[in-house]
Amino acid sequence: MKPFCRILATLFLASLMCGFGAAPRQSSSGSCALEDAFESRWILPHWQAWVCGFAVAPQQSSSGSCALECVLKKMDAAAADFHTAQADFVWDQYQKVVDEHDTQKGTVYYRRAGNEIEMMAEIKEPMAKFMLYKDGKLQVYQPSIEQVMSFSAGSNRNEMESYLVLGFGGSGEDLKKTYDVTYVGEDRIDNIATAKLQLIPKSDKVRNYFSKAFLWIDLSRGVSVQQQFMEPQGDQRLAKYSAVRVGAKIANDVFQLKTTKKTQFVSPRG
């Protein structure tokens, strides 16, 4: 499996983090296949491939264009002053073929120092897991089996980090460089006034994983409070964020894995 494919499948669900236990799917071309990664027990409980169909962005009115620019400017302003953020999350992966929801709950932390991005996702339910992105490397720690899997972003670091900060510290200008962005309209999420944006990836490589996503941007703070990713077979992933604290004081040790002497560190081949 190509390193880019493995890292992308894992990171999407940094920002982007899929339901655990779902079986992977392979594209018709067979390229960027995930079967080899999912055969071992370290990846099967973690990520399913996001291989979605293509979609065409709807036509946008002039008033929608104006509204879109206003939202993107709010994101630009938030990104310019972004240093840290903390939020509670609920990740819900729906699998249509079995008509089941796989739900995870926890807390995610972000920190930016200069050009360096750090992220820690602490999954508390239904089973403790930790995902740390730091120094261009993603580590997935499963205390139940005392194992840490490490992935290097390598030459795809900038691309990976743009996904990582989707809705949290990413600017509107950067969003437009990576996606065709459409303003859908205003919406209220948990009594928060938001703007709903539709994203269509510009990169063919990224479209091999998802074709369409939606962001709900808090109009007062310029950060995401909800994200939705659509898959062609009818599967969906919904990420909801609450208790969002932009500028939160976060201790340095939050961005460190609390491993033990028994913990094994493993790097996948390829």
pLDDT, averaged across the chain: 76
Q: Is the pLDDT of residue 257 over 80?
A: yes
- Two tokens, residue 226: 């909800």
Residue-wise pLDDT tens digits, 130-170: 999 998 888 999 999 999 999 887 777 766 676 677 778 78
| Residue 8 or residue 22, greater confidence | 8
Q: Residue 35 has what pLDDT?
A: 35
Q: Is the pLDDT of residue 123 over 90?
A: yes
The amino acid sitting at 141 is Y
Interval 240-268 mean pLDDT = 93
Q: Does domain 3-266 have CATH number 2.50.20.10?
A: yes
Q: Which of 173-177, 202-206, 255-259 has the lowest mean pLDDT?
A: 202-206
**Contact by Cβ (8 Å): 66, 185:** no
Q: Residue 65 has what pLDDT?
A: 56
Where does the pLDDT of residue 269 fall: very low under 50, low under 70, confident under 90, or very high at 90 and above? low
From the list 254, 229, 255, the residue with the least C-alpha distance to 240 is 229
From the list 234, 212, 255, the residue with the least C-alpha distance to 25 is 234
- Within 10 angstroms of residue 54's Cβ, the number of other Cβ atoms is 11
Residue-wise pLDDT tens digits, 53-100: 222 233 344 445 568 999 999 999 988 888 999 999 999 988 888 999
Domain boundaries, the chain: 3-266
Percentage of the chain beyond pLDDT 90 is 43
* Predicted model pTM: 0.73
Q: Residue 62 has what pLDDT?
A: 45
Q: Residue 167 has what pLDDT?
A: 76
When mean pLDDT is compared over 36-45, 158-167, 241-250, the highest value belongs to 241-250
Q: Residue 37 has what pLDDT?
A: 37
Cβ-Cβ contacts under 8 Å for 27 (sequence gap 6 or more): 33, 51, 208
Interval 3-21 mean pLDDT = 39
**268 vs 149: CA distance, rounded Å:** 7
Give, in order, the Cα–Cα distances in Å from 5 to each of 39, 139, 205: 15, 16, 9
Q: Helix, strand or coil for residue 40? A: coil
Q: Is the pLDDT of residue 49 over 50?
A: no
